[in-house]
Amino acid sequence: MHRVGKVSFAIPLLSLKWHGGVRVLVDLANALSEKGHRVFIITPKNRYHKYYRLQPSVKLILTPTCGKIPFISHLYALFLILLKTPPVDYVIANFYPTFYIALLHSLLYKSKIIYYIMDYETQFGPFPYSLIADITYQFKNYIKFTVSEWVKQKTGGWGYILHPPLDESFFRPITEKKEKVFTVIYVYRRSRRKGPELFESIVSSHKLKDVRFWIVGEKPSLETPNLQYLGVKKTEELIKLYERSHLLLNTSHFEGFGLPPLEAMARGTPPVLTDSGGVREYAVHNYNAIIANTVKEFEEAILKLKHDTDFYNYLKKNGIETSKGFTKQNFINQFLSLLSLKK
């Protein structure tokens, strides 16, 4: 066992931008650093945005700018990241391309691999990328964490479940009042797996013409009178929007975990969401959320929450209580315990 404070970690990232998985790794890096461990994050210079705050003790290593030709630039970026990753005790990968960096690093420097799988990556893209992702699940020479039981079963049925945490700011007292107009918030990404076609059908529903929809994240092509695009929001701004909204909508076909619905719960905003897999770790139908899978079911759920105050408050109360189990402290304590590094 390594002595506490003498362990080093490297986290190779193909990009360090606005993304839930990246935020979790930044949280992990900061927490490990605060515990006295040496932490390095390695990412391409042109794929780094100062969106998430890193502790000064976390060493950020930026590799040279890579090109714009998709496949070649990715290979070049991975090669540069590998070259710049220093010898460490553990390399933490969370995406199948960076798993191969960790694998090569372990052969070169005898480092141990931690593979924190946040999604079922085989479904991310077409062949051969799906096969390349699937191959990583066949190895047994690493410490495996998954964000949910769903991901664990999809990737071989072994390993430890490590739930991603909420930012501490999500546990502050709620300060904003709900909008006078019944408002639904939606975190939008242009990805088929996020179910944008289902979302657009819901927004376009005549039955929901009096419901206002707020969009954060990427900008949708759809334009309707009741839809308002608010852009990409930092955590503090997002928290206020969650508080002011009446509910959050999530239409994903599959999610490894899905942070936005849990974030909304913490701010007193019940989610209406699809049964997308990983959300089962916290979302319970008619207890703290409503599970819906068709346009009709979403319409009925939204209108029920709009008109049934008692049921709305029941979901709201239970959602707040549920969210309290997903703290950074619980996250880092479990991580260190599983590695036998906790004091």
Return averaged pLDDT per consecutive 10 residues of the chain, 343 residues in all: 69 86 92 94 90 92 82 88 97 96 97 96 82 94 96 96 95 97 95 93 96 95 94 93 98 95 98 97 98 98 98 98 96 92 57
So what's the pLDDT on residue 1? 39
So what's the pLDDT on residue 176? 97
So what's the pLDDT on residue 256? 95
So what's the pLDDT on residue 340? 84
So what's the pLDDT on residue 20? 73
What would the 3-class secondary structure string for the chain be? CCCCCCCEEEEECCCECCCHHHHHHHHHHHHHHHCCCEEEEEEEHHHECCCCCCCCCEEEEEECCCCCCHHHHHHHHHHHHHHHCCCCCEEEECCHHHHHHHHHHHHHHCCEEEEEECCCHHHCCCCCHHHHHHHHCCCCCCEEEECCHHHHHHCCCCCEECCCCCCHHHHCCCCCCCCCCCEEEEEECCCHHHCHHHHHHHHCCHHHCCCEEEEEECCCCCCCCCEEEEECCCHHHHHHHHHHCCEEEECCCCECCCHHHHHHHHCCCCEEECCCEHHHHCCCECCCEEECCCHHHHHHHHHHHHHCHHHHHHHHHHHHHHHCCCCHHHHHHHHHHHCCCCC
Decide if 81 contacts 98 (C-beta within 8 A): yes
So what's the pLDDT on residue 158? 96
* pTM greater than the 0.75 cutoff: yes
Q: Please name the amino acid found at residue 109.
A: Y
Phi-psi category of 110—alpha, beta or left, where left has phi over 0 and alpha has psi -120 to 50? left
So what's the pLDDT on residue 109? 97
So what's the pLDDT on residue 331? 95
Q: Helices 309-323 and 295-307: crossing angle, nearest 10°? A: 100
So what's the pLDDT on residue 279? 98
So what's the pLDDT on residue 50? 82
Among 118, 116, 109, smallest CA distance to 82 is for 109
d(CA 169, CA 194): 26
- What is the widest separation between alpha-carbon atoms in the chain? 62
- State the sign of the Cα–Cα–Cα–Cα dihedral 166, 163, 131, 86: positive
So what's the pLDDT on residue 342? 56
